[in-house]
């Protein structure tokens, strides 16, 4: 284990990396909606560490645990997250239901999308009801849209953010927000949405304008509360899959990208915080567009997808783009290899991403159920050991 002395606070370290300067060591992240840990993996991890904790679920859909301070300290994590809530009048409990001969746990979100988890396989929630599946463009005007700027979402947010900034050394990071595109297919249904992009793009544009309006109102209120406090803001919509784009690049550039750009410009007009954009998959072809939109960092950097080699990404975009993630092949290595292989994999990826700053360490997306705790510890310990700059 490296005995090099740290010379920066966590916040200084993260900000240096985000500004393409070399910190004392690579910053380490865990605990967000796309940088988190599944409850089963977390349960195994705290058992391995000998910790006796009550597990709190921070993300019901993905069944992510909220890491405790003890775990974050052990893994030398430099980030801490703040989250806005739901509208004051929203009551969205998880309820039990019987369908198709089995018991389900259902959560209906503010947009009317129902997410469901089978009782006999409680890993995560999938969508089982798309409220706009049969809607016409005229129906959108009468739909009960949630209010992005509802003050109830932000009650106590500034106090929590200031406590982190003023009483801890950590970087203050927002939960995921700005999900302009994906909410549309959540509401419509993925197959129907893809057909719409070809047969009735005007419906897609009208729906995108609704979700964009929600997020512009949300950020107007959010940034009024904490725009001067938060260090990193996370937005995102998945644009790619394992081998390439999830939908036609011309539709993205003509219809989706301008709305993303409008959102990014609005955020940047109100805060100096850096913007982190999340898209899984083989998104190499989208990176110039994301940079043109004004994003600062890319997550999760899915290095097992086509065209996502760490060395090539760093060489091509590393002077303009911060990579946040990309620590390991999360599909093949982290769940299945031994700890020594995990350690070596992390070391090689750090060698690619680390030079010149511009890198924040995290797994590719969330640590999933079934990942051995020994591998989780090997990954984070290797990030610390090999992450120091000369």
pLDDT digit string, tens, across residues 323-333: 999 999 999 99
Q: Which of 89-93, 181-185, 189-193, 218-222 has the lowest mean pLDDT?
A: 89-93
Q: In angstroms, rounded to a whole number, what is the distance separating the alpha carbons of residues 160 and 360? A: 24
Please indicate, yes or no, if residue 111 is contained in any of the structural domains.
Answer: no
Mean pLDDT of the chain: 96
Determine the pLDDT at residue 271.
98
What domain count does the chain have? 1
Q: How far apart are CA 1 and CA 190, in angstroms?
A: 47
Look at residue 325 and tell me if it is in a domain: yes
Q: Which two tokens stand for residue 13?
A: 């370290």
Residue 1 confidence (pLDDT) above 80: no
Q: Is the pLDDT of residue 3 over 80?
A: no
Per-residue confidence band for 91, with pLDDT thresholds at 50, 70 and 90: confident
Among candidates 33, 29, 26, 28, which has minimal Cα distance to 366?
Answer: 33
Position 4 in a domain: no
Domain annotation covers residue 197: yes
Q: What is the mean pLDDT of residues 190-210?
A: 97
Residue 291 pLDDT exceeds 50 = yes
**Token pair for residue 60?**
């019901």
CATH of the domain at 78: 3.20.20.210
Q: Is the residue at 104 inside a domain?
A: no
Res 2: pLDDT: 47
- Scanning 154-227, the segments in alpha helix (DSSP H) are 157-167, 182-188, 190-199, 201-226
Q: Looking at the domain assignment, is residue 98 inside a domain?
A: no
Distance CA 390, CA 388 (A): 7
State how far the Cα of 162 lies from the Cα of 159, in Å rounded to an integer: 5
Residue range 92-115: mean pLDDT, rounded:
95
390 pLDDT higher than 90: no
Q: Is residue 106 part of a domain?
A: no
Calpha distance 5→60 (Å, rounded): 39
The answer to whether residue 94 sits within a structural domain is no
Note whether 324 and 301 are within 8 A (CB).
yes
Segments forming the whole domain that contains residue 59? 10-83+135-386
Q: Give the pLDDT confidence score for residue 4 in this predicted structure.
A: 64
pLDDT range class, residue 92, cuts 50, 70, 90: confident
List pLDDT tens digits, range 240-264.
Answer: 999 999 999 999 999 999 999 999 9
With tokens 């997020």, the residue in question is: 215
């Amino acid at each position: 284990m490296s005995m090099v002395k740290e010379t920066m606070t966590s916040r200084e370290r993260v900000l240096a990396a985000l500004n393409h300067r070399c910190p004392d060591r690579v910053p380490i992240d865990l605990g967000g909606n796309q940088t988190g840990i599944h409850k089963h993996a977390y349960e195994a991890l705290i058992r391995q560490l000998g910790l006796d904790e009550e597990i709190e679920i921070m993300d019901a859909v993905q069944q992510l645990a909220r890491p405790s301070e003890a775990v974050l300290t052990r893994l030398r994590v430099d980030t801490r997250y703040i989250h806005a809530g739901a509208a004051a009048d929203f009551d969205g409990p998880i309820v039990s239901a019987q369908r198709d001969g089995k018991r389900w746990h259902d959560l209906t979100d503010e947009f009317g999308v129902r997410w469901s988890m089978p009782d006999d396989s409680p890993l995560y929630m999938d969508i089982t009801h798309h409220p706009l599946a049969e809607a016409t463009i005229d129906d959108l005007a009468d739909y009960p849209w949630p209010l992005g700027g509802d003050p109830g979402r932000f009650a106590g947010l500034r106090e929590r953010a200031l406590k982190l900034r003023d009483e801890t050394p950590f970087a203050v990071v927002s939960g995921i927000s700005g999900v302009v595109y994906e909410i549309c297919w959540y509401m419509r249904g993925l197959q129907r949405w893809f057909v719409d992009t070809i047969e009735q793009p005007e419906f897609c544009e009208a729906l995108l304008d609704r979700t964009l309006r929600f997020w512009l109102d949300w950020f107007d209120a959010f940034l009024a509360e904490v725009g001067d406090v938060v260090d990193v803001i996370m937005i995102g919509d998945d644009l790619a899959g394992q081998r390439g784009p999830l939908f036609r690049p011309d539709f993205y550039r003509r219809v989706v990208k301008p709305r993303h750009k409008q959102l990014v410009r609005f955020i940047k007009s109100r805060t100096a915080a850096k913007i982190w954009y999340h898209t899984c998959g083989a998104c190499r072809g989208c990176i110039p567009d994301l940079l043109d939109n004004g994003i600062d960092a890319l997550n999760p950097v899915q290095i097992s997808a086509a065209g996502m080699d760490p060395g090539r990404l760093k060489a091509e975009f590393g002077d303009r783009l911060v990579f946040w993630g990309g620590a390991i092949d999360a599909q093949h290595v982290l769940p299945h290899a031994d700890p020594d292989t995990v350690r070596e994999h992390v070391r090689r990826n750090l060698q690619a991403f680390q030079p010149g700053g511009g890198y924040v360490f995290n797994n590719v997306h969330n640590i999933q159920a079934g990942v051995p705790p020994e591998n989780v510890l090997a990954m984070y310990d290797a990030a610390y050991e090999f992450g120091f700059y000369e």
